[in-house]
Structure 1
């Protein structure tokens, strides 16, 4: 039985027919290894931010079990940091819910960008992968699989798993450490600042084209200028305008890069 995987190892288009499940598994395994090599440098940053998140939950008044449950179910640092002060202040849960939803609206854009690559999967698998979709996956997946590969599913599950699953494990490990040792780790250690430095170190090599640079400059500037907006809406505004700037630069600047630069800048 033949299975068309749409494999394109050269990155130049074209489909390859995989004759047996063993060959398909080999392709996914190779893609997993490729994804791990590409994204492994993000793990220290994710681990550090997870620790900061865990400490923040404990210091905001949540119990250990509440904090662990929030880390496992929410899995969104920005939403957690936005919701924690509201929970500590006794704000109605409906307000907390909508605040977290507004802060995480960027995931709607992320999902729209990735969804066409997985539309051949049943809905429950798309829901599963959607839970893990986030900033790290959007930093790497669109570069490896631009829109021109929508109809070429081979290797995508393996690559996506490699850039998402280790990050989830690192986040949960860091959050658990932060929760259990939150009262023991002094704030003078500046773990949050260490996480920021690690993210910057990851971001700089990815800003390798003018559209990506335009997106980074615009989003960073807007994030600073819109810092005082309520519910951290400045982050959402910065992301949208940054992506718009990257796409505009990609259209207007000759020889500036590929169509997936805008996704990398996000």
Structure 2
């Protein structure tokens, strides 16, 4: 695509993105079911659970928010946890700017509303392969948004049928799911610093503050450690 030209935004690109993202949809559906079940424990109604998934639309942020809500529903740490966990979308948006900057505002901001971790990574990979139709991002986003909402509803309704999730050990799902995410995101020894910083901050504050603030403090400590460790990358790691 020529520099400065408006990228195409077509139905063909939308369909291509929607189809390509189907491979990720089952995992998103399962993740939504987990959130819905945990929402039962946090005493959110089915409507509240679905609206949370619609307007926050971030598994990690919603899991953190559930922990805060369950331990007292303090609004300030609740908002802080959501903002902190979703801060990565600032970088996602910046990475997509060369692709979406030339599209009409409605198409551009509508696409960003449906942006998630999986379809962002998929879209960036497609762009590297030469895909220039910006509607790919929207199509792949909706392909993941729909199972997330449907999974949330399934989980919340099934959680209501089984009663208290703690009776079956399902209250441990948040910890287990967070551990699984950590393992999946682990890239090597370089990640140890932020993990240790988060753990240390959480351990130091645990006797004094609610779990909501512990999540916020751990996230800030990990971000600070990551910024310090990767501020001056080794020559072999530097971008060309």
TM-based fold match above 0.5: yes
- Separation in 2 of the partners of 1:45 and 1:238? 31
2:152 paired with 1:172? no
Counterpart secondary structure, 2:152 = helix
CA contact (8 A) 1:53 1:175 kept: yes
- Separation in 2 of the partners of 1:175 and 1:106? 23
- Separation in 2 of the partners of 1:125 and 1:239? 37
Give the match for residue 236 of structure 2: 252
CA contact (8 A) 1:58 1:182 kept: yes
**TM-score, normalising length from structure 2?**
0.69
Counterpart secondary structure, 1:120 = coil
Query: Within 5 Å, which residues of 2 pair with 1:99-248?
Result: 99-146=81-128, 154-157=132-135, 159-184=136-161, 216-217=187-188, 221=192, 224-228=195-199, 229=202, 230=214, 231=216, 232-233=218-219, 237=223
CA contact (8 A) 1:137 1:160 kept: yes
- Separation in 2 of the partners of 1:236 and 1:134? 22
Query: Within 5 Å, which residues of 2 pair with 1:89-104?
Result: 89-104=71-86
Alignment deviations for residues 38-97 of structure 1 (CA, whole Å, 9 cap, x no partner): 432211111111011111111112222222221222111111111112222224312211
Structure 1 residue corresponding to 2:65, chosen from 69, 80, 83: 83
Query: Within 5 Å, which residues of 2 pair with 1:20-35?
Result: 28-29=11-12, 31-35=13-17
**TM-score, normalising length from structure 1?**
0.63
Shift of 1:173: 0.7
Could you list the runs of 5+ residues in structure 1 that have no partner in the other structure?
A: 1-5, 7-13, 18-23, 204-212, 260-266
Shift of 1:227: 4.9
Q: How many residues align?
A: 215
Give the match for residue 22 of structure 2: 40
Give the match for residue 205 of structure 2: none
Give the match for residue 20 of structure 1: none
**Which structure is higher in RCO with an 8 Å CA cutoff and minimum separation 6?**
2
- Separation in 2 of the partners of 1:167 and 1:239? 32
**RMSD, aligned CA:** 4.1
Shift of 1:172: 0.4
- Separation in 2 of the partners of 1:141 and 1:239? 29
